[in-house]
């Protein structure tokens, strides 16, 4: 499935139906008078969040959406039918912005969250509305009001508890396949992951957490290098970051590993300072390819001096995976406990 996470669309609500000019023409009813009914209201355009859709792909092929018009009024005081609302389903996590002002109109983060993005026009008044004691036969009615229309941007930001970050080929896809039922594409070349992958990790006591495999980041990502800002925004909603480091490619250079770690964090900070404030866990991956256990201990010791939780794992063999899952769950529980204690809502 193609992943689309940003589209610009045009929406237009339905116009209101026109009011009717009509007079009663019934046998044995003298001076029947006006009986033209009102026009119906135009339909609204509504955005509604759903857990069924995972991408904005539907809006990539169709960019213009119009709601139904209201039906014009009729004689015998018959009001026209209102136009049906047009409900557009979007994935949970969709932000809605106005194209012209850039204003954030809504952030649809829960299933069934709704936003009336364009309101239908009011129906026109029939001539029976204008009859008075001195104007008994009004021969006019009003037209329906036009519906609202606007250009908007839909931007999807994934909702996940833990975001997997790291350089290309660090083993993120292999890890998420190991800990969840997600089955991302895995191969030994840069940017195997071209779209974010979500996996649900089952925990003890029936709990679970959602982990997002974010495509690999490289130096200059905040300026668009590699897959760049196209996916950096998906990390913004995660609660905890799991920084995956491939320890099999740097020989015995502990300093190089730390340097690459700091450079990737620099990219996060250049994109958003809030990303650096998120709790991080470091996972030293591919330890099955490391021949010197003492060197691995040095790497872990270096990260502990930075005050970062660090674990050694192998996404391929499963070594250390359960300990990593427990650490992720511990960080999430700690964060949620602290947030609840301060009377705040946990925000993605």
The least confident of 120-134, 161-175, 311-325 is: 161-175
Instruction: Give me the pLDDT at residue 133, please.
Output: 85
The least confident of 13-27, 69-83, 169-183, 255-269 is: 169-183
Residue 291 CB partners (closer than 8 Å, separation 6+): none
Please tell me what DSSP assigns to residue 97. Answer: E
Q: How far apart are CA 300 and CA 274, in angstroms?
A: 26
Q: How far apart are CA 213 and CA 177, in angstroms?
A: 10
Instruction: Give me the pLDDT at residue 269, please.
Output: 81
The least confident of 30-34, 159-163, 220-224, 257-261 is: 220-224
Q: How far apart are CA 307 and CA 280, in angstroms?
A: 10
Convert the pLDDT of each residue in 197-215 to its tens digit: 777 888 877 788 888 887 6
DSSP string for residues in 323-345: HHHHHHHHHHHHHHHHHHHTT--
Instruction: Give me the pLDDT at residue 195, please.
Output: 61
Instruction: Note whether 147 and 121 are within 8 A (CB).
Output: yes
pLDDT above 90 (res 26): no
Q: What angle do CA 30, 32, 37 make, to 5 degrees?
A: 170
Residue 27 CB partners (closer than 8 Å, separation 6+): none
| CATH for the stretch 162-341 | 3.40.50.300
Query: What are the extents of the domains in the chain?
Result: 6-156, 162-341
Instruction: Note whether 284 and 260 are within 8 A (CB).
Output: no
Torsion of CA 302, 306, 307, 310, to 10 degrees: -40
Domain 6-156: CATH class, spelled out: mainly beta
Torsion sign (Cα): 111, 117, 118, 122: positive
| 315-333: average pLDDT | 91
pLDDT above 90 (res 231): no
Instruction: Note whether 12 and 65 are within 8 A (CB).
Output: yes
Instruction: Note whether 208 and 200 are within 8 A (CB).
Output: yes
The least confident of 26-30, 219-223, 333-337 is: 219-223
Convert the pLDDT of each residue in 88-97 to its tens digit: 999 888 999 9
């Amino acid at each position: 499935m193609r992943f689309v996470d940003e589209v610009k669309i045009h929406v237009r609500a339905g116009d209101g139906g026109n009011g009717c000019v009509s007079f009663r023409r019934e046998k044995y009813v003298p001076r029947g008078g006006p009986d033209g009914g009102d026009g119906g209201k135009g339909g609204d355009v509504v955005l509604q969040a759903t857990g069924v859709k995972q991408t904005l792909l539907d809006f990539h092929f169709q960019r213009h959406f119009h709601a139904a018009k209201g039906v014009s009024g009729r004689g015998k005081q018959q009001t026209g039918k209102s136009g049906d609302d047009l409900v557009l389903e979007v994935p949970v996590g969709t932000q809605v912005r106005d194209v012209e002002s850039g204003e954030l109109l809504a952030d649809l983060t829960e299933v069934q969250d709704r936003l009336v993005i364009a309101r239908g026009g009011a129906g026109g008044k029939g001539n029976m509305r204008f009859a008075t004691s001195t104007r008994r036969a009004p021969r006019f009615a009003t037209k329906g009001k036009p519906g609202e229309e606007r250009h908007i941007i839909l931007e999807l930001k994934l909702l996940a508890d833990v975001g997997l970050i790291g350089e290309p080929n660090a083993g993120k896809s292999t890890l998420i396949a190991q800990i969840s039922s997600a089955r991302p594409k895995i191969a030994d070349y840069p940017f195997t992951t071209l779209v974010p992958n979500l996996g649900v990790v089952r925990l003890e006591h029936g709990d679970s957490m959602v982990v997002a495999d974010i495509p690999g980041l490289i130096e200059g990502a905040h300026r668009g290098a590699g897959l760049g800002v196209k996916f950096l925004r998906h990390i913004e909603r995660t609660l905890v970051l799991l920084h995956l480091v491939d320890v099999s490619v740097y020989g015995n250079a502990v300093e190089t590993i730390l340097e690459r770690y700091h450079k990737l964090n620099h990219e996060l900070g250049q994109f958003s300072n809030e990303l650096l404030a998120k709790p991080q866990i470091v996972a030293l991956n591919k330890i099955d390819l490391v021949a010197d256990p003492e060197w691995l201990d040095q790497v872990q010791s270096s990260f502990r001096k930075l005050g970062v939780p660090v674990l050694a794992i192998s996404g391929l063999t499963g070594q250390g995976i359960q300990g990593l899952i427990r650490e992720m769950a511990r960080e999430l529980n700690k964060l949620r406990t602290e947030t609840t204690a301060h009377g705040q809502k946990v925000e993605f």
